[in-house]
Amino acid sequence: MLPVPKLDDQDYYEILDLAINTVVSHYPAWTDFNDHDPGITMLELFATVKESEQYFIDRISRENRVKYLKLMGIRRRPKQPAKTLVGMKVNEECELMKGHKLDAGGVCFETVTGSYMTTYDVAMCMAMRGDELLDQVTTGQMEFGGQAHFYMFGAKPDKGDACYISFGEQPPFGDPLQFYIRVSEDYPVTRNPLGDFDFASPVGLRWEYYTAQGWTEMEIMSDETCGLLFDGFVTARYEDPIVETTIAGQKAYYIRIVLEEGGYEAPPILEGISINICEAIQKDTLVEYRIFPTDSNTVYMDTELSALGRSEVYLERNGLWYPAEQYEKGMLEVTARVYCTIEDPEFENSDRILVINRDLSFLHRSRIGIGNGFPGQRIELEDAEVMEEPFAVLIGEAEEEDAYRLWERVEDFEGSGPEDRHFVIDSERGELIFGDCIHGMAPEGEILTAAYVRTKGSGGNIRAGKIDRFVTDTATPVMLTNITEGINGMDEETLDESFLRAAQSIRRPDCAVTAADYERYVKNTPGLMIESCKVLDIEELLRSEKQIDDNTVYMVIEPYGYEPGSSINACYEANIRAWMEKFRMVGTSVKFFFPEYIEVEVYAELVVKPQYRNIENRVRETVEEYFERFHGQFGHPVILSRLFGYMDRQEYVFGIRALSMDARGHGTRRTREGDILLPPQGTVVLKSVKTFLTIG
């Protein structure tokens, strides 16, 4: 590590003494060094200046530290809003708009998408194999927080198995159905989160609904569950009315999910399902904008702010936005959408349409300043909760009356030229910063907010049950509450936290080099449940493989739930390969093996103590306990003498007359001492324990 030089290494008196001594050596005639001498006064002045310069030159400014982070490829994490799920019960069917505001004790949440809420919900779910009913769960059990633990395709899903979802009332025709499905994570091995990985689901599901013509396939518009692997929303659309039918003696309106191809490492277990749940995010949108093409003079919006706020319309001509004087705004009666019809005569000459919606309580902050054309302008936002994204401003042009431009937000002005209309948000200081006319243009006109959103960051991580009402009153009686806690709300990262993260990233390799790196990355493959994995030793592998490449990493992978004789889904291996492409070194390839299960039979002839009962079960449990240590290990030899010692230490054993093992599996060898040597990709499975007991 390079030494860090100390630049502020002299105080005032040291600097002054050095200067006086230097004068003596250069000009011996100067002999008066008292304070009244003008020369000494000048030296004292320069000593003060030098000490001050040394102090500041030895300090690293905040701006310098931000630059250092950028050079390392690290950007401070901005404030992140929390998210939660909200369940609703309504007396009349209603449609919520996107951005509908919910109140959680003074903390504002907004719906992420528009949602259609019904007076009914899923009544029952049944797992079917052909005409055989495997399991079923009712409405009360499926309420979130209830006791549902329902295998959707049975405990061992097979191709053709189906999960039937029933409704007591006919679902509305023409509107997509949005299910929220929660699946259990109560498994010994956790499924890895997806992140931004392009995951290919290893299962293929077909959603169908029952019509007058029979079962008809539904169009799946989105599936956040990736085939019921994760919690999430599934949005499905159908073109014909759902009609009643009878399944397993139950008459209802049915939708079914059929397992068409592939398979699961762990069968999906349903913990909750509902069509009256929506996602909410902790933010308060005060200003928003949308840009539309001019293929029609009527534009449509679907947010609550567009319905309840004040709308401003601008028309674009030659890259400039001009306020439209004539337009009509209204609400569609059939769907919860707002329309805006532009009747301005300049519409025909326009390139695009800009609509800005402002909250009525925020109209006084529509204009946040006026640019004066001078470099380095700063505007105090006086708001610690403002989000950097999607903050936007519309700024008047100095040379064109009633003309505006949307300026671009950038991280800094390093890449900005004198003609670039850029601005920077300093959320820590709550400032809007403009360029110095060399790096970034200086505004000279009215500065209007075009997008303004607030969030409380970690303050949005609320308890379940905290949301209890809409911010704005609705005509439809509604009972609502958040069924989950608010999660993932984070405050803005400080510089010290950013540098700590940067230091951790330096210590963590970005590519797989060692065997431990490969094992760690493979085991963390997004979307998969991997029990264990191991990089194989090439010398050991040469015993069973004829051709070995020195530039290839050979790995054995054991998926969770993998059984002897099972086949591996092609998507499973494809996901691992796609994930490892990010980390493998250039010129290095990876080859995967799946476990070779070696079945072992144990024969034991024991002399046991007479006071113990159920000796056969005790012996079997002892052997099983010993073989548990081989779980998740590959190529590990089974040493007979160690098993002998383990058995001999049991309190019920008086003596051991004979003990042996037999093994079956490809690549297995036995030594003359009775030990079992496994192939590198082999793992032990205890098949049976045969005992011959004599009372001692």
636-681 confidence digits (pLDDT tens): 899 999 999 999 999 988 889 999 999 888 888 889 889 999 888 8
Q: What is the mean pLDDT of residues 505-524?
A: 85
State residue 546's pLDDT score: 67
Burial class of residue 469 (count of CB atoms within 10 Å of its CB; 0-12, 13-18, 19+) = middle
State residue 146's pLDDT score: 62
State residue 476's pLDDT score: 60
Confidence band of 474 (pLDDT split at 50, 70, 90): low
Is residue 626 scored above 60 in pLDDT?
yes
What is the rounded CA–CA span in Å between residue 389 and residue 281? Answer: 14
Give CA 589 to chain center in angstroms: 29
Token code pair at residue 201: 């689901």
Q: What is the mean pLDDT of residues 271-286?
A: 92
DSSP per residue, 268-337: -EEEEEESSEEEEES-EEEEEEEEEESS-SEEEE-BHHHHHSEEEEEEEETTEEEE-S-EEEEE-SSSS-
State residue 17's pLDDT score: 85
Bridge partners (DSSP) listed for residue 133: 128
Confidence band of 310 (pLDDT split at 50, 70, 90): very high
3-class SS of residue 12: helix
Per residue in 542-572, pLDDT tens?
A: 776 667 777 888 898 988 887 766 667 788 8
Confidence band of 152 (pLDDT split at 50, 70, 90): very high
Per residue in 50-96, pLDDT tens?
A: 888 888 777 777 777 788 888 887 888 889 999 999 988 888 777 88
Cβ neighbours of residue 153 under 8 Å, at least 6 residues apart?
127, 134, 161, 162, 163, 259, 267, 268
What is the rounded CA–CA span in Å between residue 370 and residue 177? Answer: 48
What is the rounded CA–CA span in Å between residue 528 and residue 567? Answer: 16
Q: What is the DSSP letter of 3?
A: -
Residue appearing with tokens 């800094």: 412
State residue 145's pLDDT score: 60
DSSP per residue, 513-534: -SHHHHHHHHHT-TT--EEEEE
What share of the chain has pLDDT > 90, as a percent?
39
| HSE, side-chain direction, 13 A CA sphere, residue 426 | 17
Is residue 475 scored above 60 in pLDDT?
no
